[in-house]
Amino acid sequence: MPGAAGAQPRDHGERQQAYNRGKTAVTAGDWQAALAIFQELWTEQRTYDVALMLGQVELALERYRDAAEHLSYGLANLPPREKTTTSERSAEFLKVARSHVGTLAIRVNKPNALVTVNGRDVGRSPLSGDVFCEPGPQDVVASLDSGAPVRQTVDVAAGAEKAVELTLAEPEHPMLSEPAPEEASGSGSGTASQDAFAGDLNHSPQDATTDRPRLIVSGTIAAVGLGTLGVGAVFHAKAAAADDDVARLQDDATEQFGPGGCAIPPGQSSAVCKDVQSASDDQRRAGKTANVLYVTGGVLVVGAVATYLLWPKEATHTSTQITPTVTANGGGLVVTGNF
């Protein structure tokens, strides 16, 4: 997909101002100016609304492949609260863009394979969606870090769709050779070699017995910590989505009531401004919950490492109790016992 994340993002207010400038350029028909604005916003952060506006601009400039990719992304990530008219209009734009390009449904039999189309990196398998391309012959290649790549050439016309199945071969493993028998020396009994080999394996089984509780306890804490971090990531994503909703609804309020938006009557009592307040509350709650979960999960993971490293070497006369604690402002880990 054109545009790569990595630029330092601006704060929400600056992004909103840039977004509004892009919309003004679209209204004025200044497509090149709008393209530059929305491409920069897309490079900073990929959001559905920027994708839809960028796709609309690219469609006007007859950059059909880019338009299809951005419109497809925007529709796939459209939040449920978005207007139906936005979805319908964007779907019509995507239909027009797809009529000018080819569509490839690429499937690879192994995960994490790098997929290219005519030398263009389109992602790693499994791909998240269709790949759009200029009409004509397409050289589709899939490759892993090891093993030979596999390629398939297909010819796709404008508005047509082609399925491409790429099957990577199983890696070949060299046959293990049997060790050569030792040459007999002296009496030929081989007793000295056998004794030396037995000596290498002469370690106490108590080591494994002692290590098992340490692995179980530290592994359990680590699993809980990672799970907590995962839940925190979910709430972080909810906060980001709510933030997008706030921006969109504020934009709607500005369009309906002027620059003052929800800050002045009659906007303050309108349904859209109530939605703004509701979305803001959702964003704050989700953000605070994500922060608490991140702190708690981080403490648990650190606690797991500390438990593993500080576990007593002797398994006897040892008892521990590990209790995670969570408060409104963070979390912690309490380890008690005799070591």
Tens-binned pLDDT, residue by residue, of the chain (339 aa): 554 444 566 888 999 999 999 999 999 999 999 999 999 999 999 999 999 999 999 999 999 999 999 999 999 999 999 999 999 999 999 999 999 999 999 999 999 999 999 999 999 999 999 999 999 999 999 999 988 999 999 999 999 999 999 999 986 655 554 555 554 444 444 444 444 333 443 433 444 455 677 788 878 888 887 888 888 888 888 888 878 887 887 777 777 766 666 666 666 677 877 887 888 888 888 888 988 888 998 888 888 788 878 777 654 444 555 566 655 555 665 555 555
**Phi/psi of residue 275, each to 5°?**
-65, -35
Instruction: Report yes or no: 124 and 113 within 8 Å, Cβ to Cβ.
Output: yes
Length of the chain: 339
- Spatial distance between the Cα atoms of 150 and 108, rounded to a whole number of angstroms: 10
Supply the pTM of this predicted model.
0.49
Where residue 317 falls (left for φ over 0; alpha for ψ -120 to 50; beta otherwise) is left
Residues of the chain with CATH 1.25.40.10: 12-98
- Spatial distance between the Cα atoms of 239 and 229, rounded to a whole number of angstroms: 15
- Spatial distance between the Cα atoms of 163 and 152, rounded to a whole number of angstroms: 11
**Phi/psi of residue 324, each to 5°?**
-75, 145
Say what the pLDDT of residue 335 is: 55
Say what the pLDDT of residue 212 is: 74
Q: Which CATH architecture has domain 12-98?
A: Alpha Horseshoe (1.25)
